[in-house]
Structure 1
Amino acid sequence: VFTADRPPKEMLKLEDRLKTRFEWGLIADIQPPDYETRMAIIKNKAIRMGVELPEAVLQYIAENITANVRQIEGTVNKIMALRDLEGSSIDAATVTRAVRDMFKDPSDIMPTSDVIIEEVCNFYNIEDSALRGQGRTKDTALARQVAMYLIREMTNLSLKEIGREFENRDHTTVLHSIERIEKLKKSNPEITEVIKDVRANINARYE
C-alpha cells in the first residue's frame, strides 16, 4: 500500500517508471469521513470503551472534529481520560474542555525559521551550513531562495531578520531571492510543487 497527498502523475520528483508502476495498481481517493461516518466511529469507539455518550455529546464531537479518524478517536480518549481523572460527568462542558486545544486553526501556528530551513535542507538533500552559508551551486542557491521565500511567507520576520539567518545577508539580497521565486512560480510549475511539498512537510511538524 502506497499513500500520498496527490496522484502519481503529479509527483514531479518520481521517476516515470515508478509513476506508471503505481498507476498500474488500484488508485483510490480517500476523503475525510462525512458526518454520518464520524457519528458511527464515535459511537463504536465509546461502546468499545464501555461508555454510552449522550446524543448531544456525540453530535458535538461529530460536528467539530472533522479532520480524520485518528483525531476523532483521540478526542474520545481525551474525554474518557478527563472523566476518569476528575470524576466529572460527560456533558457538553466536559467535552468542550477536553477538546478545546484541538480546535486551534492550523493557520494560527507559526513555524520557526530553523524548522523551515531544516525542511528545505531535507527536501534538497543539502547541509544546513551550505544552505545558510556561501555555497553557490545551482541547487544550493535555489534551495536558499526557496527557504527565504517560505520564511517570508510563513513567519513575521522582516527582510533584515531573514538575512541574519543566512550569515547576515543584506535585506536587498533577501528581497531579490523572494522576487525570483515569485517569478519562477508563474513560469515553472515544478517550483510551485516544490513550495507546496516543503510547506506541507513544515505544517506536518505541527500537527
Structure 2
Amino acid sequence: FVRTFDALMDRGAMMLVTASQAAVRDDDLIPPLRSRLAGGLSVELCVPGMEARRVLVRRLAALHDVAIPEAALELLASGQARGAGPSRNATAMTVPRLNHAVMQLGHLARVTHRPIDEEAVLGLLADWEADRRPTLRSIAAKVSRYFSMSAEQLRGPSQRHNIVRARGVAMLLAWDLTNNSLERVGDYFGSRDHTTVLHACRRTKSLQQSDPAISKAVDELRRQLHGDLGTQNVQHE
C-alpha cells in the first residue's frame, strides 16, 4: 500500500483515508504509512447531535414511507428512554444506524400489523445496547494484544509486574463495560476471588492518575472496545 500511496501522490492524486483513530495514534500501522498519513489533513468526524438526528429520522422515515409518531421519533433520536440517564446508544446514532433503525421499525410494523410506538423503539434500543456490550473474551483479547502477551498469560497465575498491570486494566474494563459481577470477572481471570478483582480495579484507577502509560492504555482500549463512541466511565466505590 505504501508504494501505491507514493505512486498516487507523485501523480498529484487526492486520497481519502478513514480510520477509527488518528494515524499518529495507530500503532497497528507500519511506520512509513503512519508517517505519510500524518502528513495530510486529519479531520475528526462526529456523530450528529440531537437536533440533526431529529431531522434525519424524519427524512429517513419519509424516504422509506414509514410512519413514526412524534413521541417514538423523539425517543429514537435521543437513543434512550425518556427520563433515563445518559446512554451509550445516543453517541452511537450514526446516519447508517438511524437508517437501519427506521427500516427495522418499518419491517416490524408490516410484520406485526401494529403501528410503531415507543415500546417498539425501546425494544430496538435495548437490542442495540446488548449487541454493543463487549465480552470478557473480547476484552482479554484486546488487552493481551495491546500489552504484547498471550491471553493465557493475562488470565494465568503469573505475578510478573507487566502482566499484573495488564491484568488490572483488563479487570477494570471488564467491570466497567460488562454486566458481569466481580465474582464472574475474577473467575474468568484465573479463578481469582472478588476482593482481588476489586483491589486490581482500584489500583488501576489510581494508576490512571499517576501513570501516563496506564492512562493511555485504558483510554485507547476503551475506544477499541466501543469504537471511540464517547463511552462514559462508570464510577464504583
Normalising by the smaller structure, the TM-score range is 0.5 to 0.7
Paired amino acid for 1:60: E
Once the two structures are TM-superposed, the CA of residue 200 in structure 1 deviates from its matched residue by 3.2
Once the two structures are TM-superposed, the CA of residue 59 in structure 1 deviates from its matched residue by 5.1
Higher helix share: 1
User: Any residues of structure 2 matched to 1:30-179 within 5 Å, and which?
Assistant: 30-35=45-50, 37-49=52-64, 51=65, 53=67, 56=70, 60=74, 63-65=77-79, 67-89=93-115, 94-104=116-126, 112-135=135-158, 139-154=162-177, 157-158=181-182, 162-169=185-192, 174=197, 177-179=200-202
Q: Which runs of 5+ in 2 are unaligned?
A: 1-16, 80-89, 228-237
1:200 partnered with 2:190: no
Offset from partner CA, 1:21-54 (integer Å, 9 cap, x none):
33322222222224554345334434443x2647
Counterpart among 2, 27, 39 of residue 24 in structure 1: 39
Q: 1:46/1:8 Cα in 2 relative to 1: closer, same or farther (>3 Å)? A: same
Checking the alignment, whether the CA contact within 8 Å between 1:35 and 1:62 is kept in structure 2 is: no
Once the two structures are TM-superposed, the CA of residue 195 in structure 1 deviates from its matched residue by 0.8
Q: 1:153/1:44 Cα in 2 relative to 1: closer, same or farther (>3 Å)? A: closer
After TM superposition, the runs of 4+ consecutive aligned structure 1 residues lying more than 6 A away are: none
Offset from partner CA, 1:141-164 (integer Å, 9 cap, x none):
332222233334445634x65443
Offset from partner CA, 1:112-165 (integer Å, 9 cap, x none):
54443233224334322221113455543332222233334445634x654433
Offset from partner CA, 1:65-114 (integer Å, 9 cap, x none):
4521122112210221022212334xxxx14233213444959x875544
Identity %: 23
Q: Which runs of 5+ in 1 are unaligned?
A: none
